[in-house]
């Protein structure tokens, strides 16, 4: 078994807003091993991005606060590093790809300029070498006329191309871990297919990936293992085959049934009833309780803990 | 729906073109056109759902808005029960408009934040003088119809979740008992676990109101769950259309094949991945010949210069040189 590259242990993150304080991430633990692609899946607002931002210590302060937990990466607790050490990690060891490509690129600077900055800073190389490396990465992510594109401003590229530039920027630093937060949500279906091919190539090069998505279909296509989140907590975790062939948590089961699949008939679908509650209205006990078709008395009173079903397949539900 | 061919469609679109002028320079000279909808013909029968699929910018919303006369087309006909909507004068048009409604992707921006649900869902009824204002009974009936709590009619849009807001806009759109509902990406902004609820609601309403839908989405898997027929658009044109099951089981156009292949399907390992190269060209300067030729995996020489014509087999139409 390969070693754990990243281990998140009982992470709890809270936010203070006008409406009050709430936990965006509640007692979350999971890990990513070397050479592994792990999918973090769940609906909007369940805490995926906050988890990712915590790893890089990018939680907006003072509104957000990591209340407790450890984030062990390469033997060190990232939550204990000072700013300088953390910067080093962000540039060299962990790269992040965000959902909105526009937000990750500066509108004022040419693509090439933005690309070489990071390289020169973290790799201690000359401008010329950095330029060549950057250009070669643009080619690798299939940007046509890469040499010319180095002189383009972000607005001159389509969303798909911008996202590829960002992927190139993340990869050229040869990180050990790439965190991709909904990297294709803003893109067209056929562009999404292109980006996935790129990410699959990345897997070949022994980089570990934490892929965040709301689309469980994407998890099937891209990942070795999945962590399913619901309302700030982990509902289920396991390897892809276990998650898809024998889902244990009623939420995972509901999600798999409700996702519209390619169909040749117009049949009624099987939705999960009710709506995702706001963090200020989470029910007592199990947060999935008022949408769960199998809820019973105990679910109201106690919070289910993650239980290991064997083979690393875990679920937080009283039914098991 | 076997004897469709002898029935008259409720909607027939003929060679519709909606172009947006590109203005340049101080004189605001027209330097060209974004051909958002460029010669589209399609039809729709009573009780039928036509799914309109294609990627961002291909002209889906523009087509929908043109049907509601929210955009002015350059050319073409929109026959609604045989009458060309584009010829109608104000009064007649007003009457027709009642029978065609539209719902949008983002229910929050399409609902007036300062109106309560009662006023929102009965606005049309009041406007067409079917009821007087502040009619609780009608509002409650509509709320029930779309699966919302009848007692929440005095609440405001921001007090509801995304899925609930989409139900409110559906309630508003069916209030005038329309014949045709244009649904523009109605579930794209919703949580996955809620999307299926809205699709089910639309299926139920189709039956109870005998509604026809034009269902617009970039996601062919969602469309396949609701449409009887599917039309696939690329850069302002339809490239393939036909019965939904035929399109899904046996896509003919290389673009349709790619769209279907790109759907991640849990539990199924794809034998072959189709990954298109390049980007969708801008609709203001589409490539010559077949618009898809710059990305097509099956491109031939002829495709680069000559625009493919329609080939028709049964209910199926495809625009591609592979099927001459
Ligand atoms: N009012 C307008 N003025 C100028 N161009 C416009 C206008 N409305 C739309 N367009 C252009 O027309 C083309 C088609 O746009 P449309 O909104 O119909 O696409 P769509 O298929 O609905 O895309 P999406 O999936 O992103 O909603 C695009 O290139 C768009 O930029
Ligand atoms: N900067 C912030 N200030 C206040 N609340 C926030 C902030 N960022 C995220 N949240 C809240 O934290 C919760 C989890 O958010 P997030 O991790 O972004 O969800 P997602 O799973 O969609 O990525 C949500 O309720 C969200 O509204
Ligand atoms: S703990 Fe209870 S409410 Fe929660 S998922 Fe399990 S059965 Fe359902
Ligand atoms: S006409 Fe040619 S380029 Fe266009 S889709 Fe058919 S084969 Fe491809
Ligand atoms: Mg997020
Ligand atoms: Mg649109």
Closest approach of chain A CAs to the CA of B157, in angstroms? 15
Ligand 3: list residues with CB < 6 Å: A 249-250, 286, 288-289, 292, 294-295, 299, 304, 317-319
Which is nearest to A242 in space by CA: A220, A262, A215? A220
Average pLDDT over residues A290-300: 97
Q: Which two tokens stand for residue B189?
A: 């902004």
pLDDT beyond 60 at B5? no
CA of B110 to the centre of ligand 6 (A): 14
Ligand 1 within 6 A of CB of B283: yes
Per the CB < 8 Å rule, is B228 touching A266?
yes
The DSSP secondary-structure symbol of B188 reads T
A216 at the B interface (CB within 8 A)? yes
Between the CA atoms of B253, B195, B167 and B62, what dihedral angle is there, to the nearest 10 degrees?
A: -30
- Beta bridge partners of residue B214, listed in sequence order: B50, B182
pLDDT digits (tens, 9 = 90+) for B21-46: 988 777 778 888 999 999 999 999 99
- Residue B234: the pLDDT is 96
Ligand 1 within 6 A of CB of B33: no
Ligand located closest to B60 CA: 1
Angle between helices B192-209 and A250-258 (to 10 degrees): 50
- The answer to whether B201 and B38 have CB atoms below 8 angstroms apart is no
Q: What is the pTM of this model?
A: 0.89
Confidence of residue B282 (pLDDT cuts 50, 70, 90): confident
CA of B129 to the centre of ligand 6 (A): 32
b/e map A51-74, b = 16+ CB within 10 Å: bbbbbbbebeeeebebeebebbbe
Chain B residues touching A259 at Cβ < 8 A: 192, 196, 266
For the ranges A44-48, A52-56, A283-287, B291-295, the lowest mean pLDDT is seen at A44-48
CA of B78 to the centre of ligand 4 (A): 29
Average pLDDT over residues B98-110: 88
Determine the Cα–Cα distance for residues A152 and B85; give it in Å rounded to an integer.
46
Q: Which residues contact B285 (CB under 8 A, 6 or more apart)?
A: B32
Q: Which two tokens stand for residue A191?
A: 């562009």
- Residue A122: the pLDDT is 82
Quickly count: other Cβ atoms within 10 Å of residue B4's Cβ: 14
Closest ligand 3 atom, residue A294 Cα: 7
Chain A residues touching B264 at Cβ < 8 A: 215, 217-218, 220-221
Ligand 1 within 6 A of CB of B57: yes
Q: Which residues contact B173 (CB under 8 A, 6 or more apart)?
A: B101, B102, B103, B181
pLDDT digits (tens, 9 = 90+) for B203-244: 999 999 999 999 999 999 999 999 999 999 999 999 999 999
- The answer to whether B321 and B312 have CB atoms below 8 angstroms apart is no
Query: Strand, coil or helix: what is B311?
Result: strand
- Residue A118: the pLDDT is 85
pLDDT digits (tens, 9 = 90+) for A146-162: 999 999 999 888 887 88
Mark residue B154 as left, alpha or beta (left: phi above 0; alpha: psi -120 to 50; beta: remaining): alpha
- Residue B25: the pLDDT is 74
Q: Which two tokens stand for residue B277?
A: 């190269």
- The answer to whether B154 and B115 have CB atoms below 8 angstroms apart is no
Determine the Cα–Cα distance for residues A287 and A66; give it in Å rounded to an integer.
21
pLDDT digits (tens, 9 = 90+) for A302-312: 999 999 999 99
Which is nearest to B257 in space by CA: B238, B276, B280, B242? B276
Handedness of CA A215, A217, A220, A221 (dihedral sign): negative
Ligand 2 within 6 A of CB of A47: yes
CATH superfamily of B3-99+176-323: P-loop containing nucleotide triphosphate hydrolases (3.40.50.300)
Between the CA atoms of B42, B43, B48 and B52, what dihedral angle is there, to the nearest 10 degrees?
A: 10
ipTM of this complex = 0.84
The minimal CB distance from A269 to the residues B200, B248, B264 is found for B200
Q: Which residues contact A63 (CB under 8 A, 6 or more apart)?
A: A15, A16, A17
- The answer to whether B318 and B252 have CB atoms below 8 angstroms apart is yes
Question: CA-nearest residue of chain B to A195?
Answer: B275
Q: How far is CA A315 from CA A31, A218, A237, B267, B309, in A?
A: 15, 21, 6, 20, 56
The DSSP secondary-structure symbol of B114 reads T
Confidence of residue B6 (pLDDT cuts 50, 70, 90): low
pLDDT beyond 90 at A110? yes
Determine the Cα–Cα distance for residues A25 and B176; give it in Å rounded to an integer.
45
- Residue B1: the pLDDT is 47
Per the CB < 8 Å rule, is B49 touching A258?
no
Determine the Cα–Cα distance for residues B182 and B101; give it in Å rounded to an integer.
6
Chain A residues touching B221 at Cβ < 8 A: 260-263
Closest approach of chain A CAs to the CA of B251, in angstroms? 12
- The answer to whether A30 and A73 have CB atoms below 8 angstroms apart is no
Average pLDDT over residues A101-129: 90
Average pLDDT over residues A225-253: 97
Question: CA-nearest residue of chain A to B227?
Answer: A266
pLDDT digits (tens, 9 = 90+) for A83-92: 999 998 988 8
Choice between A109 and B107, residue whose per-residue pLDDT is larger: A109
- The answer to whether A251 and A288 have CB atoms below 8 angstroms apart is yes
Per the CB < 8 Å rule, is B192 touching A266?
no
Handedness of CA A109, A112, A114, A117 (dihedral sign): negative
Break chain B into its structural domains and give their ranges.
3-99+176-323
Angle between helices B117-127 and B162-174 (to 10 degrees): 20
Quickly count: other Cβ atoms within 10 Å of residue B107's Cβ: 23
Per the CB < 8 Å rule, is A256 touching B266?
yes
Which residue's CA is the closest to the ligand 3 atom numbered 8? A295
pLDDT beyond 80 at B95? yes
Q: Domains for chain A: give ranges and CATH numbers.
A: 4-230 (3.40.50.300), 248-320 (no CATH)
Determine the Cα–Cα distance for residues A50 and A2; give it in Å rounded to an integer.
27
Determine the Cα–Cα distance for residues B89 and B102; give it in Å rounded to an integer.
21
Q: Which two tokens stand for residue A158?
A: 């389509």
Which residue's CA is the closest to the ligand 3 atom numbered 7? A295
DSSP chain A: -PPEEEEEEEEEEEEEETTEEEEEEEEEEEEEETT-EEEEE--TTSSHHHHHHHHTT---TTTEEEEEEEEEETTEEGGG--HHHHHHIIIIIEEEE-S-HHHHS-TTS-HHHHHHHHHHHHH---HHHHHHHHHHHHHHTT-TTHHHHTT--GGGS-HHHHHHHHHHHHHTT--SEEEEESTTTTS-HHHHHHHHHHHHHHHHTT-EEEEEES-HHHHHHH-SEEEEEETTEEEEEEEHHHHHHS--SHHHHHHHHHS----SS-----PPPS-PPPGGGPPSSSTTGGG-TT--HHHHHSPPPPEE-STT-EE--TT-
- Residue A260: the pLDDT is 86
Sheet of strand A64-73, all strands in order from the earlier edge strand to the far edge: A20-33, A4-17, A64-73, A76-77
Q: Which residues contact A267 (CB under 8 A, 6 or more apart)?
A: B225
The DSSP secondary-structure symbol of B287 reads P
Q: In chain B, where does DSSP find H-type helix? A: 60-67, 90-97, 107-110, 117-127, 136-145, 162-174, 192-209, 220-224, 244-249, 254-261
pLDDT beyond 90 at A121? no
Sheet of strand B49-53, all strands in order from the earlier edge strand to the far edge: B100-103, B180-184, B212-217, B49-53, B229-234, B237-243, B316-319, B310-313
Determine the Cα–Cα distance for residues A240 and A248; give it in Å rounded to an integer.
13
Per the CB < 8 Å rule, is B265 touching A262?
yes
Query: Strand, coil or helix: what is B281?
Result: coil
Determine the Cα–Cα distance for residues B214 and B50; give it in Å rounded to an integer.
5
- The answer to whether A31 and A210 have CB atoms below 8 angstroms apart is no
């Amino acid at each position: 078994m390969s070693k754990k590259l990243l281990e998140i242990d009982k992470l709890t993150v809270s936010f203070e807003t006008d409406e009050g304080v709430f936990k965006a991430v509640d007692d979350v633990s999971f890990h990513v091993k070397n050479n592994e692609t792990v999918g973090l899946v769940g609906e909007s607002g369940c805490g995926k991005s906050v988890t990712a931002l915590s790893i890089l210590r990018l939680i907006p302060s003072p509104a957000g606060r990591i209340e407790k937990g450890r984030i062990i990466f390469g033997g060190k607790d990232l939550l204990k590093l000072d700013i300088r050490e953390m910067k080093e990690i962000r540039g060299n060891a962990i790269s992040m790809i965000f959902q909105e490509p526009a937000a990750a690129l500066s509108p004022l600077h040419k693509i090439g300029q933005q690309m070489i900055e990071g390289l020169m800073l973290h790799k201690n190389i000359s401008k010329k070498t950095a330029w060549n490396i950057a250009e070669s990465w643009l080619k690798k992510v299939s940007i046509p006329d890469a040499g010319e594109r180095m002189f383009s401003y972000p607005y001159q590229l389509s969303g798909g191309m911008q996202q590829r530039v960002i992927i190139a920027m993340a990869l050229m630093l040869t990180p050990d871990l790439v965190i991709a937060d909904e990297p294709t949500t803003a893109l067209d279906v056929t562009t999404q297919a292109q980006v996935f091919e790129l990410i699959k190539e990345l897997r070949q090069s022994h980089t570990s990936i934490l892929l965040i998505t709301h689309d469980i279909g994407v998890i099937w296509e891209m990942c070795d293992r999945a962590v399913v989140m619901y309302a700030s907590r982990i509902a289920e975790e396991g390897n892809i085959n276990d998650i898809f062939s024998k889902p244990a948590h009623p939420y995972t089961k509901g999600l798999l049934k409700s996702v519209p699949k390619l169909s040749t008939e117009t049949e009624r679908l099987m939705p999960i009833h009710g709506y995702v509650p706001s963090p200020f209205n989470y029910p007592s006990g199990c947060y999935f309780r008022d949408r769960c078709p199998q809820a019973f008395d105990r679910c109201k009173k106690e919070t289910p803990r993650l239980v290991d079903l064997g083979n690393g397949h875990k679920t937080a539900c009283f039914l098991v | 729906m076997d004897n469709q061919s002898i029935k008259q469609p409720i909607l027939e679109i003929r060679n519709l073109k909606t172009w947006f002028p590109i203005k340049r320079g101080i004189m605001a000279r027209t330097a060209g056109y974004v051909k958002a909808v460029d010669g589209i013909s399609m039809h729709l029968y009573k009780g039928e759902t036509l799914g309109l699929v294609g990627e961002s910018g291909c002209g889906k919303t523009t087509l929908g808005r043109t049907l509601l006369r929210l955009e002015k087309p350059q050319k073409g006909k929109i026959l609604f029960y045989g009458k060309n909507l584009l010829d109608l004068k104000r009064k007649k048009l007003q009457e027709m408009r009642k029978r065609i409604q539209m719902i949008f992707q983002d229910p929050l921006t399409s609902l007036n934040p300062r109106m309560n649900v009662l006023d929102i869902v009965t606005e049309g009824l009041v406007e067409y003088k079917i009821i007087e204002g502040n009619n609780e009974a009608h509002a409650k009936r509509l709320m029930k119809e779309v699966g919302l709590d009848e007692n929440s009619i005095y609440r405001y849009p921001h007090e509801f979740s995304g899925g609930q807001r989409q139900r409110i806009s559906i309630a508003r759109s069916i209030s005038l008992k329309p014949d045709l509902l244009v649904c523009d990406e109605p579930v794209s902004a919703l949580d996955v676990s809620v999307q299926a609820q809205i699709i089910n609601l639309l299926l139920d309403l189709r039956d109870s109101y005998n509604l026809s839908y034009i269902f617009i989405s970039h996601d062919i898997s969602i469309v396949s769950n609701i449409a009887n027929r599917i039309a696939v658009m690329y850069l302002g044109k339809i490239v393939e259309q036909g019965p939904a099951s035929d399109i899904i089981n046996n896509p003919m156009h290389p673009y349709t094949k790619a769209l279907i292949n790109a759907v991640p399907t849990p539990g199924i390992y794809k034998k072959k991945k189709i990954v298109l190269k390049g980007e969708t060209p801008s609709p203001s300067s589409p490539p010559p010949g077949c618009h898809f030729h710059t990305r097509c995996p099956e491109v031939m020489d002829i495709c680069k210069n000559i625009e493919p014509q329609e080939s028709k087999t049964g209910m199926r139409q495809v625009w591609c040189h592979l099927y001459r």
